[in-house]
Structure 1
Amino acid sequence: MASSTVTSSPSHRPPRPNLVFRQLRGQRSPAEFAAAIRRAAREIGEQVSCDARYIGRVESGEIRCPNYAYERVFLHMFPGRTLTDLGFAPRSSVRGRRARDADDTPPAHTANPTNTTSETTGAYESYETRDPNDPHDNHEESDVLRRAFMTGGGATVAAASLGPLGLAFDAAAAGRPARRAGASDAGALEETVRRIRVLDDRHGADGLYRRAAAPLRAAYALLDAGTTRQTTADRLYSGAGELAISVGWLAHDSGRFDDARSHYAEALATARMNGDAALEAHAFCNTAFLARDAGRPREAVRAAQAAQRAARPLGSPRLMSLLALREAGGWAGLADRVGCEQALARAHALFERGPSDADPEWMTFYGEAELEGLEAQCWSTLGDWRRAARHARRAAELQDPHFTRNRALYTAELADDLARGGRPDEAAAAGMRVLDLLEEVQSSRIHRMLAGTARVLLPHRRASGVSAFLDRHASVPRKA
């Protein structure tokens, strides 16, 4: 999306509720309507990070016009209607400048076999999330932050190289004198976190990590700049903490454990400074996962338990379920089968309570597939290969296709469990599927898992399919 350098006089009118959109939702809850929108998006090859909060922002009038990805989804859901028929304002009226043909015409939605462009083309809605009553929330500042967080060259993301990610830090923004941050800055920060998560879901962390460091610096610069409103300050602290966790995860998944630990600690400190229990629970959750992967299982247990203490007042059974799984992973690392089984039982019982409006936005990845995948990892750590393979296979079968990295991860787990469980031919077939997925995914973690599987299969080269897998795996370029 092109950015503007032309300012306009901000409107002082309060947001006008979108009653048409509210009527279209009908008797469905905001979370149910958001789920329907995500399903409709998948039907046309889009991926939107729609949740109950987004629905609330639309219905309240905070989002006056959706981005192009949402526009395509809404017009697919309600054929024959225009955006104005759905209660939205014309796009030209919310951009703060005269419409230009090249910018105000939605780009053609062409089929892409790698499905990599849908959430990265015109995905930012900074001009739709302005606080008209914030004197510091002017269009020029919003535009600088849009460049700092969201733009960076081309509109597409190449599957192999991840191309221009739109996450480059703008040197001009870095050199500008500090000014008070506004609501649009908080919106830019939140959207950056969503985009990083979407790109990670599809491509893995390796091509993202270094590009994500600049937005993180910009986020903490916003905190230093301060704001005139406590609600905006809270959003900025939460957004900066969530971005630190996202960048920490990119470091974690790409094997940079020390960097990940530092980013998670930064997020935890941000949570503690702002009294943000949800952010604290998330930071401890990821710390537990990192400790398990780094061979510190006792720390994993303690961090997972700390996360559960922080999360208990939040009222999200699904979050508590995930945290119980993090604890189970730590017990498995300590070879404590009883402790692991007890934590797994809690995780399943909590999961069965179903989703709720209290579930954090970052937990969109946590469904039945992730539950099965994390349980598979526990049984694998305990050396129960047959049970691990059963859960890993189910995880791979259940995973939503757009979570490409997780499909590769679960299938790699399956290949390793089958190899160690004495089923080399099945392991080789699963390994081949992982290699196919690695054409789209860049994850050092998955590469390491597959390399371990290859070592286990070396003595079984004569088994059906093993030689072909080993040869193909050996031909995959190794990262420096």
Structure 2
Amino acid sequence: MASSSVPSSQPARPPRPNLVFRHLRGSRSPAEFAAAVRRAAREIGERVSCDARYVHRVEAGEIRCPNYAYERVFLHMFPGRTLTDLGFAPRSSVRGRRTRAAGDQPAARPENPANATSETSGACEPYETHDRYDTYDPHDHEESDVLRRAFMTGGGATVAAALSPYGLAPEASAAQRPVRRAGTSDACALEEAVRRIRVLDDRHGADGLYRRAAAPLRAAYALLDAGATRQRTADRLYAGAGELAISVGWLAHDSGRFDDARSHYAEALATARVTGDAGLEAHAFCNMAFLARDAGRPREAVRAAQAAQRAARPLGSPRLMSLLALREAGGWAGLADRTGCEQALIRAQAYFDRGPAEADPEWMTFYGEAELEGLEAQCWSTLGDWTRAARHARRAAELQDPHFTRNIALYTAELADDLARGGRPEEAAQAGMRALDLLGEVQSSRVRSMLSGTSRVLLPHRRTSGVSQFLDRHASLPRMV
């Protein structure tokens, strides 16, 4: 690990906290305020992936001026105010950019941050935030189309184009990267690559993304080997590389590559242990528990979930503890231990009811009431209580934010399977058809596997209304490459 004694060629000016924005948030937690921002965006037809981390960055002064999508949302939330009234710097003063006149197009994206050579030069633009990965942005049609084609077809060139602007181009091997010490721009690129992968997985599923996402991970660990100019940057790089390893592991996990997933999760856990990062350790054990459950190793799932809870307990995030209790519940269900499962589910609900907290990890933006219901549905399904499982799966699909298309498909497939096994073939076929509709947008081996199981259960009911239509349509699905 590099020493922090190496001076930067251009010392960074510390950001000035945005106290006005903090005052406007009031008593709401950053996560609650972020949810209000997303609701306001939907009211005016915008799409921003605001989360607690973004709110923290604004209030800390790291984002001196928001991008244009956020500007429209904030001005809608606080009518009659200007950006400067909200505590932001004038757009013309940020990086020397002029204020956009009426009719101008948004400013071009910043240059590749990997080209920067110092701690501060080329660092993340304060007005370009992680919402640029949100494929819903109506003001970025070109990138949205590129991303959709990339991750629906699995085309190598377009996926490379999707990742390369963030300094982690998959076409460049680690050996080809220039040997230099990593700086803030590299840490920014790494963190943004993690966000991009998560957003694309939420929208399109893992299958079209996994093969191309492993190369940026190799580039990330090459950055670690090169060392960093400052200790703080080194810590960010280790945390970012660990989170990227988990993200790539999840893509392998969700696309049925369990051995690859196990390797990536273990790599993240090792990174966490080297740096003493309890949050990263809890995240790695969380995913290892989920993988163990899916791989038919329920006792290992229980042990990993319990280890995750031990690591997470000092972090002060009830929502994280709730998710980890659900991971433990899944393991107990796999062991056919109904009592252990129910006790873990009760803990999960109790932690969840405490609400969001500032300590909630950024990666947990997917975890809300819908995910809670969906994971509980899986527990009851494993225990063979099809009626209860179907009730929770239906509620999960109804509650899920439309952005998480992959999860809606997953919950709907779960519902179809629970209904089929519970002796309700007509309703199962209807749910199955809805899940098949979503496969036009999502590539997920998990969802396809669940629908295959449902079709086998429904086969004896072919003459039931709607069942034959579902079976025929499922049989016509193209084979996954």
What TM-score does the superposition give when structure 1 sets the normalisation length? 0.84
- CA offsets 1:206-254 (integer angstroms, 9 cap, x no match): 1111221222122112212222322222111111111111111111111
After TM superposition, the structure 1 stretch with the greater mean CA deviation from structure 2, 316-325 or 217-226, is 217-226
Separation in structure 1 between the aligned mates of residue 64 and residue 111 of structure 2, nearest angstrom: 10
- CA offsets 1:278-317 (integer angstroms, 9 cap, x no match): 1000000000000100111111111111111111111111
Separation in structure 2 between the aligned mates of residue 315 and residue 396 of structure 1, nearest angstrom: 29
Residue 148 of structure 2 corresponds to residue 158 of structure 1: yes
Aligned to 2:4: none
Separation in structure 2 between the aligned mates of residue 135 and residue 230 of structure 1, nearest angstrom: 14
8 Å Cα contact 1:300/1:327 also seen in 2: yes
What's the CA shift for 1:98?
Answer: 8.3
Tell me the amino acid that sits aligned with residue 71 of structure 2.
Answer: E
Aligned to 2:445: 444
Aligned to 2:475: 474
Q: 1:329 to 1:173 in 2, by over 3 A?
A: closer
8 Å Cα contact 2:123/2:185 also seen in 1: no
Q: 1:396 to 1:72 in 2, by over 3 A?
A: same
Q: Which runs of 5+ in 2 are unaligned?
A: 1-8, 134-140
Of 150, 163, 173, the residue aligned with 1:167 is 163
Separation in structure 2 between the aligned mates of residue 70 and residue 260 of structure 1, nearest angstrom: 35
8 Å Cα contact 1:216/1:240 also seen in 2: yes
- CA offsets 1:347-376 (integer angstroms, 9 cap, x no match): 112111221111111111111111111111
What's the CA shift for 1:65?
Answer: 2.2
Any idea what SS the aligned residue of 2:355 has?
coil
For residues 121-160 of structure 1, what are the structure 2 equivalents within 5 Å? 135-139=118-122, 155-156=143-144, 157-158=147-148, 160=152
Aligned to 1:413: 414
Q: 1:194 to 1:230 in 2, by over 3 A?
A: same
What's the CA shift for 1:258?
Answer: 0.9
Aligned to 2:53: 53
Q: 1:398 to 1:180 in 2, by over 3 A?
A: same
Would you say how many aligned residue pairs link Structure 1 and Structure 2?
446
Q: 1:321 to 1:21 in 2, by over 3 A?
A: closer
Aligned to 1:4: none
Any idea what SS the aligned residue of 1:158 has?
helix
After TM superposition, the structure 1 stretch with the greater mean CA deviation from structure 2, 341-350 or 279-288, is 341-350
8 Å Cα contact 1:328/1:339 also seen in 2: yes
Q: 1:352 to 1:100 in 2, by over 3 A?
A: closer
For residues 84-95 of structure 1, what are the structure 2 equivalents within 5 Å? 84-91=84-91, 93-95=93-95
Aligned to 2:6: none
For residues 201-240 of structure 1, what are the structure 2 equivalents within 5 Å? 201-240=202-241
Q: 1:28 to 1:375 in 2, by over 3 A?
A: closer
Tell me the amino acid that sits aligned with residue 65 of structure 1.
Answer: C
Tell me the amino acid that sits aligned with residue 423 of structure 2.
Answer: G
What's the CA shift for 1:76?
Answer: 3.4
Aligned to 1:64: 64
Tell me the amino acid that sits aligned with residue 180 of structure 1.
Answer: R
Residue 339 of structure 2 corresponds to residue 351 of structure 1: no
Separation in structure 1 between the aligned mates of residue 78 and residue 112 of structure 2, nearest angstrom: 25
What's the CA shift for 1:12?
Answer: 5.3
Separation in structure 2 between the aligned mates of residue 349 and residue 141 of structure 1, nearest angstrom: 39
What's the CA shift for 1:402?
Answer: 1.3
What's the CA shift for 1:94?
Answer: 3.5
Tell me the amino acid that sits aligned with residue 244 of structure 2.
Answer: L
Separation in structure 1 between the aligned mates of residue 242 and residue 340 of structure 2, nearest angstrom: 31
Q: Which has the higher contact order (CA 8 A, sep 6+)?
A: 2
CA RMSD of aligned residues (A): 3.2
After TM superposition, the structure 1 stretch with the greater mean CA deviation from structure 2, 159-168 or 375-384, is 159-168
Separation in structure 2 between the aligned mates of residue 30 and residue 334 of structure 1, nearest angstrom: 38
After TM superposition, the structure 1 stretch with the greater mean CA deviation from structure 2, 348-357 or 41-50, is 41-50
8 Å Cα contact 2:119/2:185 also seen in 1: no
Separation in structure 2 between the aligned mates of residue 135 and residue 311 of structure 1, nearest angstrom: 35
For residues 19-34 of structure 1, what are the structure 2 equivalents within 5 Å? 19-34=19-34
For residues 173-212 of structure 1, what are the structure 2 equivalents within 5 Å? 174=174, 175-212=176-213
Separation in structure 2 between the aligned mates of residue 444 and residue 91 of structure 1, nearest angstrom: 45
Aligned to 2:302: 301
Tell me the amino acid that sits aligned with residue 136 of structure 1.
Answer: E
8 Å Cα contact 1:136/1:180 also seen in 2: no
Separation in structure 2 between the aligned mates of residue 321 and residue 62 of structure 1, nearest angstrom: 31
Aligned to 2:136: none
For residues 251-266 of structure 1, what are the structure 2 equivalents within 5 Å? 251-266=252-267
After TM superposition, the structure 1 stretch with the greater mean CA deviation from structure 2, 67-76 or 234-243, is 67-76
Aligned to 2:15: 15
What's the CA shift for 1:72?
Answer: 3.6
Any idea what SS the aligned residue of 1:258 has?
helix
- CA offsets 1:373-392 (integer angstroms, 9 cap, x no match): 11111111111111111111
Tell me the amino acid that sits aligned with residue 302 of structure 1.
Answer: R
After TM superposition, the structure 1 stretch with the greater mean CA deviation from structure 2, 60-69 or 92-101, is 92-101
After TM superposition, the structure 1 stretch with the greater mean CA deviation from structure 2, 325-334 or 176-185, is 176-185
What's the CA shift for 1:104?
Answer: 7.3
Any idea what SS the aligned residue of 2:464 has?
coil
8 Å Cα contact 1:17/1:60 also seen in 2: yes
- CA offsets 1:398-420 (integer angstroms, 9 cap, x no match): 11111111111001000001001
Q: 1:295 to 1:99 in 2, by over 3 A?
A: same
Aligned to 2:321: 320
Tell me the amino acid that sits aligned with residue 43 of structure 2.
Answer: E
Separation in structure 1 between the aligned mates of residue 112 and residue 99 of structure 2, nearest angstrom: 16
Separation in structure 1 between the aligned mates of residue 316 and residue 111 of structure 2, nearest angstrom: 30
What's the CA shift for 1:60?
Answer: 3.0
Tell me the amino acid that sits aligned with residue 153 of structure 2.
Answer: S
Q: 1:432 to 1:208 in 2, by over 3 A?
A: same
What's the CA shift for 1:204?
Answer: 0.7
Q: 1:140 to 1:346 in 2, by over 3 A?
A: closer
After TM superposition, the structure 1 stretch with the greater mean CA deviation from structure 2, 23-32 or 288-297, is 23-32
Q: 1:385 to 1:411 in 2, by over 3 A?
A: same
Any idea what SS the aligned residue of 1:139 has?
coil
Separation in structure 2 between the aligned mates of residue 17 and residue 367 of structure 1, nearest angstrom: 29
Residue 291 of structure 2 corresponds to residue 290 of structure 1: yes
Residue 436 of structure 2 corresponds to residue 435 of structure 1: yes
Separation in structure 2 between the aligned mates of residue 158 and residue 87 of structure 1, nearest angstrom: 36
Any idea what SS the aligned residue of 1:155 has?
helix
8 Å Cα contact 1:454/1:470 also seen in 2: yes
Instruction: Give the % identical residues.
Output: 81
What TM-score does the superposition give when structure 2 sets the normalisation length? 0.84
Tell me the amino acid that sits aligned with residue 148 of structure 2.
Answer: A
Residue 77 of structure 2 corresponds to residue 77 of structure 1: yes
